[in-house]
Structure formats: structure tokens, C-alpha cells
Amino acid sequence: MPPRGLDPAGLVLVDKPAGPSSFALVRDLRERTGARAGHAGTLDPFATGLLLVLLGRFTKEQQRFVGLDKRYLTEIDLTARTSTGDLEGDVVEEREPPSREDLAQRVQRLHGEVELRVPAASAVKIGGERAYKLHRKGLAVEMPVRRSTIHSAELVAYDGQVATLDVLAGSGTYVRSIADLLGGHCASLRRTEVGPFRVDDADPTRIIPPEKALGAL
């Protein structure tokens, strides 16, 4: 008899709703299938979209999926910056939104290697403790700047206050940091693609066999 939790094995594409944490969805799949489970890149509770969950013995391949490029569709409110880079934070600065021409130029400059400050409400460790825990305690810390790769950024729509962007970026890129760099905060965030996998194909009841999942890479 195989060790407990190794089967079923494979990849599950989940369309995460706003609200629950990524871990909560992983836990639900673990309880439903009886297999060990792990995700290949978390999403903030307010965010929606594609979450890759590996099951059973396939969890050993997790690192092959974590580093995949990711595509997002985000609405950025350019009237204010917040302490977290999203709508859940406190407003730290109210701003006059840019013109469409000015915004388009800023978005165009996002292509390639870009230095972005890590959001205060993130899982990065500062002095041995998670940044989001320090943020919840009300402690102000200097967050590190990281170099991120942005393959493409397209201004899809702009009403003079809220801009909709389609962003394809390398693993580890915080879209909230992009919003902050543009002078606003994420009002919504949806992950539409992870590598070759698309949110349109998400089905929490379907387990993609290991050989098919690896073959897609």
C-alpha cells in the first residue's frame, strides 16, 4: 500500500474567488481528495483568478510551476495610494489622477526590468518576522526594493480615475507595487494565466495527470 496522501496525484486549476485565502482553498482540496496538497504561487485574499494546486506525489514538482510567468488583469484607482497597495489599506496620500497621455507613458515605461518596492502587507520576512504581521501591529518598516521582470503592460481602459491594466510579469512580481509606482492602489486584481495554464480552463473537480501537466510546460 502506498504512503498515505500520495494519491490522487496531479494538477488542479482553481479559479479563486475574492475572500478566502489561497491556503483555505488548498486545505479544501486536501480534505476532499485525501491527498497532500500545495499551491504554486499564492493570491491575496482580495484577489481572484488562477491558482495552481498540486496534489499527492506531484507536489514534489512544485518548484517547476512556482517560477512560471503570470498574467494579471487589474483595476488601479489612481486617486489615492494606500498603505498596502490595495483597497484594504489605509489611504496614505490622495492624488490628482494623471491624464490618459501621461498614464500611457508611465505604463509604457514599465516594460523590462523594473525596480519595485515590496508591499508592506506581504509575506517577506523583515528581521525574522513576516512583513504583514508587522504591518498589522502598526509598525512601520523600510521595505526592500526588488528587481522584477515585466514582459508587457497594456492600458486596457481609463475613465480618468481608474485604469485597467493587462500585465504579464515574471514570478515574484507584486502587482500592488506596480499600482503604487503609478501613484494608486489595486481596486481589483485577477490572475488570468500562469505559464501555459489559463483561468478559463479552471475546474476544481478535474485533476490533470502529472504527465499532461508537465507536458504543457
Over residues 131-176, the pLDDT tens digits come to 555 456 555 655 567 889 999 999 999 999 999 999 999 998 989 9
Percent of the chain with pLDDT over 70: 86
- When mean pLDDT is compared across 1-10, 34-43, 167-176, 198-207, the lowest value belongs to 1-10
Instruction: For residue 213, name the pLDDT band (cuts at 50, 70, 90).
Output: very high
Can you tell me the distance from the alpha carbon of 103 to that of 106, in angstroms, rounded to the nearest whole number?
5
Q: How confident is the model over 2-23, as pLDDT tens digits?
A: 456 889 999 999 999 999 989 9
Pair 76, 178 in one domain: yes
Pair 75, 150 in one domain: yes
Pair 188, 206 in one domain: no
Q: Would you say residue 77 lies in a domain? A: yes
Can you tell me the distance from the alpha carbon of 58 to that of 94, in angstroms, rounded to the nearest whole number?
47
Pair 79, 142 in one domain: yes
Q: Would you say residue 3 lies in a domain? A: no
Task: Tell me which residues are annotated as active site.
Answer: 44
Pair 78, 175 in one domain: yes
Pair 35, 104 in one domain: no
Structure confidence at residue 30 (pLDDT): 94
Pair 132, 162 in one domain: yes
Pair 114, 165 in one domain: yes
Query: For all residues of the chain together, what is the average pLDDT?
Result: 89
Q: How confident is the model over 62-86, as pLDDT tens digits?
A: 999 999 999 999 999 999 999 888 8
Number of domains in the chain: 2
Instruction: For residue 1, name the pLDDT band (cuts at 50, 70, 90).
Output: very low
Q: Would you say residue 1 lies in a domain? A: no
Give me the CATH number covering residue 94. 3.30.2350.10
Nearest in space to 74 (alpha carbons), one of 97, 47, 54: 47
Phi–psi pair at 82, nearest 5 degrees: -125, 165
Phi–psi pair at 139, nearest 5 degrees: -90, 125
Q: Model-level pTM?
A: 0.87
In DSSP notation, 27-44 reads HHHHHHH-S-EEESS---
> Residue 17: which domain range?
10-68+196-211
